Structure 1
Amino acid sequence: MGQQQYIESLFYYLLNGNKRKDAGYYENLKQRKEDFVTDLAGGSTKDIYTVTSISVVSYLAWCIIKKKTNLFNGSNSRSLFSTLVDLFINWNNLLLSITIYSDNVTLLATLTLLPLLPVVFSPSAKEKTRARIVDLRNLTARQLLPFKPYITIYRSQMMIITCISILAVDFFVFPRRFAKVETWGTSLMDLGVGSFAFSMGLISARGFIRQKFSGKYNYFKNLFNCIKGVLPLLVLALARMISVKSLDYQEHVTEYGVHWNFFFTLAALPFLCNLFAPLILLVSPIVFSFLIGLFYEYLLVKEHLLTYIIIAKRDSIFSANREGILSLFGYFSIFLNGLALGSIILTVVPTPNNLFSLSTTKADIINAYRKKASLTTLTPLKGLIFYTILYQALYYVIDTCYVYNVSRRMANLLYVIWVSAYNCTFLLGFKLVENFVWGDVDSVEFVYSVGKRDDPKENSKIEARVAEEAKELSEKTVPNSLIALNNNSLVIFLIANLFTGLTNMNIDTLDCTTWQVIVILIVYESSLAGISLLLQHYGIKLR
């Protein structure tokens, strides 16, 4: 509730200055809202998987319509009707699953797929999966890192459910078991920052792979560029902190601390990755992640850090922000797990020893192509299966045998494994749907020319062909609304927070009827989708 309450107060302050509307009413309402999201225990991980599985069902439904009809093809794809169907399937289903259908997601999935049965059994043109032609001698960095549809689906769906949740949590139709827990337990919203960290790590692997492949990796240059890159996040973090203090706003300090907030955490992760890059590249991301996670768990349990986090006085800058600062151990481990998976699923061809090695050179790829692949070289599908089974098994064993439960507040080892297991599982789900409907779009045919190596003219042709292939593939396999959202996800997230503040300022969210809530949430999500589509229409990509 903290972030939403803060934005509500900020907007009220900006619009009304020092005037106050019925102070007694406002204070009482604010207290009721605080109580509404305080001391919650969460729910089961099974429930969370069940509710959010509608995202995979929705993607399957869209793929069936796309393949069997012309609704999303050609000029029809930009029509009002096709856009509304797109939004209903890929946005509204998620809204319904975490509100009025939260206790009966099976019914929602049935209602989504049942009308498509006539479409499923209707004839459609047979399509052959066309393999990419990859010339290893003239392989470019852009060709090595092609467009991956299921990753776009995963990141966009994660952003949709996050944006919906930050407003829906203020209404009674959003079950309390989905709201953030106080200290111990699992909930839907506790996945938020952890999934952001995992996704950020996954995409960050592209930079390391590209630089190592091209032989242009430079530690100090990367560190400097990273600092410049996270400045916007730092500005947002500082602006929020200063505004909170200047407005004398009451905060839920056990979430991150007195001064720390979500944006500080997001800004710190890329910096830590680039700071420790030599060690990460030497040891491997997955090994380094487990070393950090185990070390942090040792500090929590054996060195009484857990007790310190829960009951210590806030009598210094560090102790005042201990949750935010110390939880970086856990969030950094999650980031590294995403980085490790990225080394497997981002490339067009499995790079040598990609289970442990983050990146490699072109020469190593060519040499590996001539030899038999090792057990530590995995295809994207095998990599997703491996990591899903690994994290799910670890979570089951530790959750069964260990004395402590998941804690988002501390970002302990079990939280790290849970978040990693969840994200790998859903990435695998989207990948399986993609393969089932469209075939293996990662299929590659390797050739090895004897012509001139790294011919600039040939490379420019390859770059143009890769760009065209990416465009064709995205139009074929990804809903337009999700492409638009992925192009401006951070901007949409910020707008979602502003809309949440405006809604809370003007509406008594605790006393709305069910239909009032649903109408408000549909207008809210439609506005976010409309803004993202508008930005796409004008070719604006702010990320």
Structure 2
Amino acid sequence: MSLKDRKEAFVTGLSGGTTLDIYTVTSVSAVSYLVWCILKQRTQIFDHPRDFLGQLLDFLLNWNNMLLAVTVYSNNISLLLFLCVLPVLFVLFTTKSKPRHQRTIKINFKTLTPKQYLPFKSYITIYRAMMMILTCLCILAVDFPIFPRRFAKVETWGTSLMDLGVGSFAFSMGLITARAFLRQHMLGRYSYTRNLFKAVKGSLPILAMGFFRLASVKYLNYQEHVTEYGKYWNFFFTLGCLPFLTNFFAPLIFMLSPLALSLIIGLTYEYALVKGGLMEYIISAPRTDFLSDNREGIFSLFGYFGICLNGLALGSIVLTVVPAPSNLLKMTNSREDLLAARKNKSSSIFTLTPLQGLFFMSVLFHAIYYLGENYYYYGVSRRMTNFLYVIWVSAYNSSFLFGYKLIENFIWGEVKVEYTTNETANNDIRVIEQSEAVPISLTAVNSNSLVLFLFANILTGVVNMNYNTLDSSEWSGIFVLMGYTLVLSTLTMILYHLGIVLR
């Protein structure tokens, strides 16, 4: 076999691992953030953004820990967590906590601006940055023997760490897309045609990256796994289609709610897979035309769109400064709706705070997943993005967002809301924008996430074309991966310190 064939075989026919294993490994990200928060609160090591020691410790906690979790310590996560927490215990016993001020904001809906209505939320930044870091680490690490095969993408059935990648991107895209919808409806300026045009225009760079990857893979004869997306489809084409789908079906989303539409699409698609013969077509049909050549990528759009809708549903709950009326089901609240709800002091079981919403979504998706895993005759399939895959990805992302929110509340305190008629009251909303609660390295990642991901893909290709990853030893593999991690982190930090934000 040629080296290319061997590399393709290295990532073919895998069945993954357990979901508990995935949760355990990725819990390192939450523990690392907790450790950073405690050190931030108890010491001055992170007080100066350009201090070398602070930046080094930031890198070790939020980049290097994740690399170690998916490689060297993948079979002994408890030891890594112990080593991570041990120094913090010394800090807790030898230092005093800095005074914590009550985080109180005063809201006046009449003068509330869109930016104030949709403020910066630190735990969302943590979630998106950690997800991007983990994705960038895995796309190269998977080519090394030091990366456990149970973390690599499965062939057809099963769960693995890397199977969460594109699904989590879809969920995050839905979460952030909710901001535009909420803003426009709050101002009463929603336009279907304008949004559709913007969605197409905004997707062009992502689609261009997809064509660039396609051309590069074919021209360089780079190894590829056909059953992942098909012969010519790839990750970028999937992401590029989601904004258009979300805006195209926006009227239906607003009428039914994103959560309800996601469940309808998911169950209908599952019926087509199981009863309509679509499953057999995706798994075993010959590749004779464009549709059959790319059937995995094309049909999986149903599942990824469902995941995106679940992110959209969660975004309508967690993005606003205060809970909007019936935010679990409705994302079309205008300023008048907010004023009326406040005036009547009306409440609904469908109006949830961010913490309540995250808890509800986590429990809902995990309950459905538990029932499906134990009583349904088909398991998770990332290849087809079946209903159980959609639910699993949504459950995972909701849970980790919930975890980051709990850490934020535990360390920095929950925000107390007061309503007033004072014209300048909304200036207090800046206290919810706890930017100092976010490590600089994660702020840097979030500011240029698309650039980072593109550079990580290019660097992964360069390494694979010039280095035999398959036959590398454990030491040489971890050395290369640490260098790769350091390069990516340095790139984001340079862009951050130069004030460059390309998203």
Given the two structures, how large is their TM-score scaled by the length of structure 2?
A: 0.97
Alpha-carbon distance in 2 for matches of 1:256, 1:221? 31
Gaps spanning 5+ residues in structure 1: where? 1-26, 452-457
Q: How does 1:335-484 map to 2 (within 5 A)?
A: 335-370=308-343, 371-440=345-414, 442-449=415-422, 469=431, 473-474=434-435, 476-484=436-444
Matched, 1:260 2:260: no
Using a 3 Å threshold, how does the CA distance of structure 1 residues 156 and 49 change in structure 2: closer, same or farther? same
Report if the CA contact (8 A) 1:198-1:337 is conserved.
yes
**Which of 189, 192, 215 lines up with 2:188 in the alignment?**
215
* SS in structure 1 at match of 2:390: helix
Q: How does 1:514-525 map to 2 (within 5 A)?
A: 514-525=474-485
Q: CA deviation at 1:248?
A: 5.6
**Which of 29, 44, 51 lines up with 1:79 in the alignment?**
51
Q: CA deviation at 1:249?
A: 5.4
Q: How does 1:323-342 map to 2 (within 5 A)?
A: 323-342=296-315
Post-superposition CA distance 1:82-108 (Å, at most 9, x none): 100000011111001111101111111
* SS in structure 2 at match of 1:365: helix
Report if the CA contact (8 A) 2:16-2:159 is conserved.
yes
Q: CA deviation at 1:119?
A: 1.2
* SS in structure 1 at match of 2:480: helix
Matched, 1:93 2:53: no
User: What does residue 14 of structure 1 align with?
Assistant: none
| Aligned partner letter, 2:438 | V
Q: CA deviation at 1:505?
A: 1.9
Matched, 1:67 2:27: no
Moved more, 76-85 or 322-331: 76-85
Alpha-carbon distance in 1 for matches of 2:162, 2:241? 21
Report if the CA contact (8 A) 1:71-1:77 is conserved.
no
User: What does residue 4 of structure 2 align with?
Assistant: 30
Matched, 1:533 2:493: yes
Moved more, 336-345 or 512-521: 512-521
User: What does residue 15 of structure 1 align with?
Assistant: none
Report if the CA contact (8 A) 1:62-1:86 is conserved.
yes
Alpha-carbon distance in 2 for matches of 1:444, 1:338? 25
Report if the CA contact (8 A) 2:19-2:159 is conserved.
yes
| Aligned partner letter, 2:85 | L
**Which of 59, 78, 89 lines up with 1:117 in the alignment?**
89
| Aligned partner letter, 2:66 | L
User: What does residue 44 of structure 1 align with?
Assistant: 18
Using a 3 Å threshold, how does the CA distance of structure 1 residues 479 and 249 change in structure 2: closer, same or farther? closer
Post-superposition CA distance 1:387-417 (Å, at most 9, x none): 0000011101111000001000000000000
* SS in structure 2 at match of 1:443: strand
**Which of 431, 456, 463 lines up with 1:496 in the alignment?**
456
Report if the CA contact (8 A) 2:114-2:186 is conserved.
yes
Alpha-carbon distance in 1 for matches of 2:18, 2:120? 35
Alpha-carbon distance in 2 for matches of 1:41, 1:96? 23
Q: CA deviation at 1:115?
A: 1.2
Report if the CA contact (8 A) 1:348-1:444 is conserved.
no
* SS in structure 1 at match of 2:4: helix
| Aligned partner letter, 1:217 | Y
State how many pairs are aligned. Answer: 501
Alpha-carbon distance in 1 for matches of 2:203, 2:34? 36
**Which of 123, 127, 146 lines up with 1:173 in the alignment?**
146
Q: CA deviation at 1:33?
A: 1.2
Alpha-carbon distance in 1 for matches of 2:126, 2:20? 22
Matched, 1:143 2:116: yes
Alpha-carbon distance in 1 for matches of 2:42, 2:222? 54
* SS in structure 1 at match of 2:419: strand
Alpha-carbon distance in 2 for matches of 1:365, 1:85? 44
Using a 3 Å threshold, how does the CA distance of structure 1 residues 96 and 224 change in structure 2: closer, same or farther? same
| Aligned partner letter, 1:66 | K
Q: CA deviation at 1:516?
A: 1.5
Q: CA deviation at 1:503?
A: 1.3
Post-superposition CA distance 1:5-24 (Å, at most 9, x none): xxxxxxxxxxxxxxxxxxxx
* SS in structure 2 at match of 1:445: strand
Post-superposition CA distance 1:126-185 (Å, at most 9, x none): 212221221122111111101100000000000011000011111111000000000000
Q: Give aligned-pair identity as a percent.
A: 56
Alpha-carbon distance in 2 for matches of 1:462, 1:432? 25
Alpha-carbon distance in 1 for matches of 2:342, 2:78? 45
| CA root-mean-square deviation | 1.5
| Aligned partner letter, 1:306 | M
| Aligned partner letter, 1:285 | P
Gaps spanning 5+ residues in structure 2: where? none
Alpha-carbon distance in 2 for matches of 1:415, 1:377? 27
Alpha-carbon distance in 2 for matches of 1:158, 1:250? 25
Larger Cα-atom Rg: 1
Using a 3 Å threshold, how does the CA distance of structure 1 residues 490 and 41 change in structure 2: closer, same or farther? same
User: What does residue 126 of structure 2 align with?
Assistant: 153
Alpha-carbon distance in 2 for matches of 1:344, 1:359? 12
* SS in structure 2 at match of 1:255: helix
Report if the CA contact (8 A) 2:107-2:420 is conserved.
yes
User: What does residue 214 of structure 2 align with?
Assistant: 241
